[in-house]
Structure 1
């Protein structure tokens, strides 16, 4: 068996980037993925590595399972875990569970539409502590909200276009972090944090090598945060977080290698072009890389 060696060099600019591993909207395109139709079951095991604000570092593995019922309908479930390490200490916890259904319409003139409906459920109320001290959202494994996903997809030749909304429906967030007591200005106050919705647009182009072993998928993501987030200040008054709304633009490169007809490896790297002024939700990353293994049966 031949060994595969991947050497990757990632340029990271000095500005912090907006990661999407916590909120989830950037990864729901898995629900649109056209799996090998000769297999009905697909399992994916992955890990996301990153560094965030201040000295926070992350390892965030997840497990994903997709069941294809027929050529049109499939169902995906996903469970995430997160380990954050920094000057506050180390915190590890399950994050969120995703349940996503996807319907693919029949292809017509090389165009194929898809529709997606899904939910995200948190395993925590986003108030994990270390040694009794409250932690900012950068250390939390979930945002503590039950979210609704609505999406659509258009595939045309080598192009894929996604549009999606992530809407917090139930806010279970009980975070109690105040920057006044955190002995640092690196993280904003997020006591009883309330997060606004996100809208996403993505364009992906697929390039396959002649032997079809490698597939390269450069893509660009536009994520618009549809309002200013808020928290409850020390006086018990709700306060908007100025600059927390607005546009993020990420460039992403996905490289996949087909080990066999049933299994593949995938590497994903991203860097930002535009970021929001303030990211209180803890999604800030200066480096993000993801490695996935997929098996179909």
Structure 2
């Protein structure tokens, strides 16, 4: 009971202060690519856990993205585990409001090699869309008709994605690399003309368009330096994500699919984390990132200014 009360106080104080959202398509928090992973010289560690996560994210325009996620890690044996992430997301912005289930993340992680100083883990995973990425809104700005809204407001990326990654973890360092490939395109049909009655049309045109978007391939590298003590730990690191191939979609004023310009390039964030362990079973953690570099053109609606993830973790 004392631990439960402490967790609730910690979360309520932190949430009321400030929080932001995630800025990648999901693979940076899956399996071997997750931040703030524990290192153990013993193979038989607790692989089963349930994590409750909340975030609030600001976009480059007005939408504010909220999400609550349940993250299950199910140990298969001492060497491998299966992860399931179930998010619920809601968005508020100048163009409207949306809410619903987000994309389901599934991954399998296995310990590939253990040495006296390092553990090497590998992950294979997928993201399953909850819808086709074409949620509509009906309000005074759309002329009171159903109109598809931009990807910033969508709960789903609308695509099936394949994910793979590997990490090396020591008592001080976490180094991880991953790749995410969108296998299908979404059905998003947002165009500026969907909001003819919005009073500031220059603002509407700040939303990058790419109808029926097929995202390019993303690769990531996570490097973290960790400091661990008896009941708490903290880390500092960097997370570059590079889109190595162009997005494909239908640009403004066209009905033909094409490679969209300026959709490749680097998104770079610096990160810090803090964790507190009440006992071997209960812990809380904060992970904050500050974006330093963004891609020029972002029709996928994934870009965030900052990231602050707040979680309670129960291991069993």
Equivalent residue of 2:57, what SS?
strand
Instruction: Tell me, in whole angstroms, the C-alpha distance in 2 between the residues paired with 1:224 and 1:273.
Output: 13
Normalised to the residue count of structure 2, the TM-score between the two structures is 0.84
d(CA) in 1 for partners of 2:114 and 2:107?
A: 22
Q: Which runs of 5+ in 2 are unaligned?
A: 139-145, 196-200
Shift of 1:29: 4.5
Give the aligned partner of residue 295 of structure 1: 314
State whether residues 69 and 87 of structure 2, in contact with CA within 8 Å, keep that contact through their aligned partners in structure 1.
yes
The C-alpha deviation readout for 1:189-248, integer Å capped at 9, x for no partner, is 221111111001111111123xx2111021211100012213224441113332111011
Which residue number in structure 2 is paired with residue 262 of structure 1? 281
Change over 3 Å in CA distance of 1:18–1:44 after alignment to 2: closer
Deviates more, 1:253-262 or 1:119-128: 253-262
Please report how far the alpha carbon of residue 35 of structure 1 lies from its aligned counterpart in structure 2 after TM superposition. Answer: 8.0
The structure whose residues are more often strand, as a share, is 1
The 3-state SS of whatever aligns with 2:99 is strand
Residues 1:190 and 1:39: Cα distance change in structure 2 (over 3 Å): same
What is the SS of the residue equivalent to 1:105?
A: strand
Q: C-alpha displacement at 1:133, in angstroms?
A: 1.4
Q: When the two structures are superposed, what TM-score results if normalisation uses the length of structure 1? A: 0.89
* In structure 1, distance between residues paired with 2:122 and 2:47: 19
Distance 2:33 2:289 in 1: 20
Structure 2 CA distance, aligned partners of 1:126 and 1:220?
A: 30
Shift, 1:283, TM fit: 1.1
1:158 is displaced (CA, Å) by 1.1
Q: How many residues in Structure 1 have an aligned counterpart in Structure 2?
A: 288
Secondary structure of the corresponding residue to residue 236 of structure 1: coil
Deviation string 1:148-191 (CA, Å, 9 cap, x unpaired) is 111111123411110100011233x1100112444411201221
In the other structure, the counterpart of 1:148 is 162
1:200 aligns with 2:204: no
Deviations 1:12-57 (A, max 9, x none): 9xxxx9812xx10221156664488454521011011111132111
Q: Give the alignment partner of residue 104 of structure 1, picking from 99, 111, 118.
A: 111
| Residue 19 (structure 1) aligned with residue 23 (structure 2) | yes
Greater shift after overlay, 34-43 or 238-247?
Answer: 34-43
Determine if the alignment matches structure 1 residue 174 to structure 2 residue 187. yes
- Summarize the alignment of residues 63-212 of structure 1 with structure 2, pairs less than 5 Å apart: 63-131=70-138, 132-171=146-185, 173-182=186-195, 183=201, 184-209=204-229, 212=230
Superposed CA RMSD in Å reads 2.5
Q: Does 1:246 align with 2:265?
A: yes
Structure 1 segments of 4+ aligned residues over 3 angstroms from their partners: 1-12, 29-40, 180-183
Q: Distance in 2 between matches of 1:259 and 1:244?
A: 44
Residue aligned with 2:184, SS: strand
2:141 aligns with none
CA offset digits 1:71-124 (Å, max 9, x no partner): 211111111121110111110011111110011034224122111101110101
Tell me which protein shows more helix as a share of its residues: 2
